[in-house]
Chain A
Amino acid sequence: GAVVSQHPSWVICKSGTSVKIECRSLDFQATTMFWYRQFPKQSLMLMATSNEGSKATYEQGVEKDKFLINHASLTLSTLTVTSAHPEDSSFYICSARDTGVDYGYTFGSGTRLTVV
């Protein structure tokens, strides 16, 4: 079945540094990937839609310069949290659509980011 690999699964960084999270579709090509963040006991909030070869589409209230998204190939999208602050600490999840699974979306296992 369709697999999305997300790396790293957890990361701790210092305030002011940048962190890159990778999302790879392992056995299918994904022209579109989605990035979400989730606070404890909350739902997933869609941050942006990552489009291969073009600019990402950000949801209202999400800072483009803060959360840089690059979708340089059909199997890889990256989310870079720039100049991270403690309030950026969250659970980040990516997903991609594989049309081979009846329009279902496959999610990565998530990245727990802690900014200290």
Chain B
Amino acid sequence: SQQGEEDPQALSIQEGENATMNCSYKTSINNLQWYRQNSGRGLVHLILIRSNEREKHSGRLRVTLDTSKKSSSLLITASRAADTASYFCAGSEKLVFGKGTKLTVNP
């Protein structure tokens, strides 16, 4: 399965702090993607990192990928209340999601 498993399941921080979420997967992947979901809404694609990349940046997002450990991390810097959402990772062609990390950023 290319399902990702995120941890922690819940994370609560203060505005301005950084938030780090982790993702582990079991099978080989061509790429790994991170998504966010606001409550009761669809998912929004955040960033994709390919299997031959180790780190990728997009605005306040930084994603790392360690294929030897089959893990990835998503770092959100200088968090804002609007970042409050659930975050999911998934791999490659068939998107199968883990339970996600529910991030709460307190103003």
Contacts and interface: CB of A to CB of B under 8 A. Distances in A.
Contacts of A109: 41-42
Interface residues of B, number: 18
A65 interface: no
Interface stretch (B43-51, B62-70, B76-84): B43-51
Chain A interface, >50% SS class: strand
Contacts of B42: 4, 6, 93, 95, 107-110
A91 B99 CA distance: 15
Interface stretch (A12-20, A40-48, A67-75, A79-87): A40-48
A104 B94 contact: no
Given A95-B43, A107-B42, A46 B48 contact: no
Interface residues of A, number: 23
A108 B31 CA distance: 22
A42 B99 contact: yes
Contacts of B35: 107
A21 to B, nearest CB: 13
Interface of B: 31, 33, 35, 40-45, 48, 88, 94-100
Interface of A: 4, 6, 34, 36, 42-44, 46, 49, 91, 93, 95, 101-110, 112
